[in-house]
Chain A
Amino acid sequence: MTQPRTLYEKIWDAHVVEQRADGTCLIFIDRHLVHEVTSPQAFAGLRASGRRVRRPDLTLAVPDHNLPTTARRDAAGNRLPIADAESAAQLAALEKNAPEFGIRYIDAVAPEQGIVHVVGPEQGFSLPGTTIVCGDSHTACHGGIGALAFGIGTSEVEHVLATQTLLLQPAKTMEVRVEGDVGPGVSAKDIVLHITGVIGAAGGTGHVIEYTGSAIRALSVEGRLTISNMAIEGGARAGLIAPDDTTFAYLKGRPYAPKDADWDAAVAWWKSLATDPGATYDKVVVIDAADIAPSVTWGTSPEDVVPITGTVPDPASFADPSKQVAAAKSLAYMGLEPGTRMQDVPIENIFIGSCTNSRIEDMRAAAAIVKGRKKADTVKWAIVVPGSGLVKAQAEAEGLDRIFIDAGLEWREPGCSACLAMNPDKVPAGERCASTSNRNFVGRQGPGSRTHLVSPAMAAAAAVTGRLTDVRELMA
């Protein structure tokens, strides 16, 4: 009888092309997602060495990072140019490279365009049990459907384009088990912010996290993608959630997903991937879902999490001296005093979007809070950026765009937007943003910007009140 194995170990074993004496493995990559920012140098490298893309059929390119989220066509339907010359050049490079190397390409004005990590699962290009890479750390997202998915650097992008493989050391395994039912107003985002607070920004380094437990099983695929998306914020290169009937129902019928008899064969294999009884993880963290409140960050590391009912911590309260220094620097940057109630922190900007929270469920959760309400006058800028053209169309079919617009929020075109401020969507220096994105790093949303990470419903609540707000107060 074979040794019991975890989900991670089963996917890993199924992808080993060769094993070297030191344990390093050549791993086959089933899906390669490409965007405009981290690929130009890789294609240039291929060109310089006369190499081709080994498996163009397994490669999908879509621009997302620096596209403006304002209208992309004029009234007559003509494509509008991108004002920023450097962004335009990166987009032009991808538009040239994709056909030259024969890879699948969704262009900037296609109805399916969107954030690469929203598009992959939505198109059924990302599948359970596959290995997926992209030159973007939030590739971890696809673990939400049970894919072993992780971010890579540009040299590795070139390596995968040329060989469809990567040389990797096996990771350690970590189980994060969330048991029980979450309370009202607590979303997948709150669960993963809470987890990040518990394990720390480096807690998962060297590990792949498998999220288990009844609170995870109860989540929709959208919620699972949100959780796995932020595995990297806990230091883990990848997250995983075992594929189940919820996953299969989500994927069935999507354009690139298997069909007919192939579908049945695929589901049978996917079901066999679940962690065996008796398999062990290198590290286990157990969390009681009842302990999770709507959560918010106070500092400049995603581990800086408190419940919305909490206060800004005193740097002296941390045991680790280096964390005391980091917390003091964070508070200076964030312009916060220890002891301040999080709910008293004023907010001038709202960003609802990013690969963490821009799927249809996120749009619905935010719309439910702003419906029939108005944006606070003190909120200067509030944008809602759907994750893809298909999410946008679905939201519009449900009338969500009207709800946002009537409340005074802006309804934008899909892309990464203010998550990393590579496009014109930036938070001004010294101002705060309640943001549904994944990183509150110094300058992440623009030089000097101050980010508070929250769920879509919490961002919507802040838009209405003009301060960080416990969304439960606004729920019917």
Chain B
Amino acid sequence: MTPLEKVAGRAIPFGLKNIDTDVIIPAHWLKTTTREGMGRGAFESLRADPDNLFDRPEYQGAPILIAGDNFGCGSSREHAAWALGDLGIRVVIAPSYSDIFSGNAVKNGILPVVLPQAAIDRLLEVAATDPVFVDLDYQTVTTEFQDRFTFEIDPFRKMCLLEGLDEISLTEKSDAAIGAYEKQLDADRPWMRPAA
């Protein structure tokens, strides 16, 4: 996973509420056995409109997406995070996310920044013409116009993103604890193992 600390650039001023993962990547793009190339299917139904935001020249390769409340709701498909990553998105800024999407984003090196709606409204305004700056270490989103918004993030997620950590390797360090739990479970509730 590519580490993430500072991201600067154009931000797609999307802003819509309740954007589900079926909109981010429709189901027919899920018929694949790899993680690559999903960007072509990203926001397909919206991009059918020739004047859509995503295909405007000024937002090509934009590393930031500004979204609305409950972004990434619905299906658990991680393909949504892969699709955003393939588009070049490293940071999403929204008032809230579905729990599953925000987890998937972090596991793919995408930072889900939570800011209140008023901050989102201001950033949508700035993003129409100017770049946005995100600093994960200092937990800030800034603009060239003195705007400075700070955000909260779970320390573990922050560390994983800053260092580009592989979570499975981290968990494998707890191998003995997992083994001890399994042994105790077999002693306390042996019937938990499937009977057949």
Contact = CB atoms under 8 A, between A and B. Distances in A.
Interface of A: 17-18, 20, 22, 24, 26, 28, 30, 37-38, 40-41, 44, 49, 51, 54-55, 57-58, 65-66, 84, 86-87, 89-90, 93, 124-125, 127, 130, 135-137, 139, 150-156, 158-159, 162-165, 167, 169, 171, 201-202, 205-206, 232, 235, 237, 255-259, 262-263, 265-266, 269, 301, 303, 322-323, 325-326, 420-422, 439, 441-444, 447
Given A167-B171, A202-B69, A17 B177 contact: yes
Given A153-B100, A421-B27, A444-B27, 8 more contacts: A22-B155, A58-B194, A87-B31, A90-B31, A201-B73, A202-B18, A263-B191, A439-B22
Interface residues of B, number: 59
B6 interface: no
B107 interface: yes
Contact of B156 (A139, A162, A167, A237): A167
Contact of A154 (B69, B78, B96, B167): B78
Contacts of A326: 16-18
A26 B154 contact: no
Nearest to B16: A326
B56 interface: no
Contacts of B28: 421-422
Contact of A237 (B18, B30, B100, B167): B100
A158 B33 CA distance: 14
Contact of B189 (A37, A90, A269): A269
A147 to B, nearest CB: 12
A447 B191 contact: no
Contacts of B45: 442-443, 447
A443 B25 CA distance: 10
Interface of B: 16-18, 20, 22-23, 26-28, 30-35, 44-45, 68-70, 73-79, 81, 96-100, 103-104, 107-108, 154-156, 167-168, 170-172, 174, 177-178, 181-182, 185, 189-196
A420 B27 contact: yes
B171 A163 contact: yes
Closest 6 A/B residue pairs (Cβ): A153-B78, A86-B31, A151-B76, A262-B191, A258-B191, A40-B33
A89 B30 CA distance: 12
A90 B103 CA distance: 24
Instruction: Count chain A CB atoms within 10 A of each CB in B17, B191, B193 and give the residue with the most.
Output: B191
Contacts of B75: 136-137, 151, 420, 439
| Secondary structure type dominating chain A contacts | loop
A202 B195 contact: no
Given A28-B178, A442-B45, A447-B26, A202 B73 contact: yes
B108 A155 contact: yes
A332 to B, nearest CB: 12
Given A57-B193, A137-B76, A169 B30 contact: no
B33 A51 contact: no
A124 B31 CA distance: 30
Contacts of B181: 17, 28
